A and B are shown apart, each in its own frame.
Chain A
């Protein structure tokens, strides 16, 4: 069974803090993705990575950065958290070719106060 795990289910941070969200997958997938999910807006892509140390911006990269030092791990970094980054963050992975079949983690509910 494919497993994608995320470091926290719930996180509360203060405005201006640096926030790290970690994602680990155990299926040797090349692609990894970070989305945020907001009511009425669906899932929006923040960043994705198709290989170690490789990354591409998604639709809403502003205020975020990512790191992929190992194939199985993809980190999302909020350099200076703001209240409009309060959201559900979902990590996903897929093989290089089967992009349509993405496996998602359970999500991290981040609240920035």
Chain B
């Protein structure tokens, strides 16, 4: 079983729809939870991060973490064609000098927003 599971999609929605992207994980040591966005033929870029549990909002994007269920979500409101990309969740126990410095990624969900 993978440490991080993510539905690969593709997910196709009409413009203006609310999009829900999700990941589940098995390692209870994960403390930082990230969403990266990757456009075609580009490297991933950090979209949002959350430390521990709770919600975080940034414009049309909301990240949620439920550590008790080991489940994280990214919601996109009023989705736009420019949101069409692959969304990767990523997690890590901690940063700094102790512990693993690298991220564990999900396999990515491809999102297509139709105009």
Contact = CB atoms under 8 A, between A and B. Distances in A.
A110 interface: no
A96 B102 contact: no
Contacts of A50: 101
Contact of B49 (A40, A41, A43, A101): A101
Contacts of A92: 43
Interface string B73-104: 00000000000000010101011110001111
* Interface size range of chain A in the complex: 20 to 34
Contacts, number: 70
A66 interface: no
Contact of B92 (A58, A90, A100, A106): A100
Interface in A20-48: 31, 33, 35, 40-45, 48
Contacts of B34: 100
A4 interface: yes
B114 interface: no
Contacts of B46: 100-103
B60 interface: no
Interface of A: 4, 31, 33, 35, 40-45, 48, 50, 58, 90, 92, 94, 96-107
Interface of B: 4, 6, 8, 32, 34, 41-46, 49, 88, 90, 92, 94-97, 101-108
Given A90-B44, A96-B96, A102-B46, 14 more contacts: A40-B8, A41-B107, A44-B105, A45-B104, A97-B95, A99-B95, A99-B102, A99-B103, A100-B32, A100-B90, A100-B92, A100-B103, A101-B49, A103-B45
6 contacts: A42-B4, A94-B101, A96-B96, A100-B32, A100-B92, A107-B43
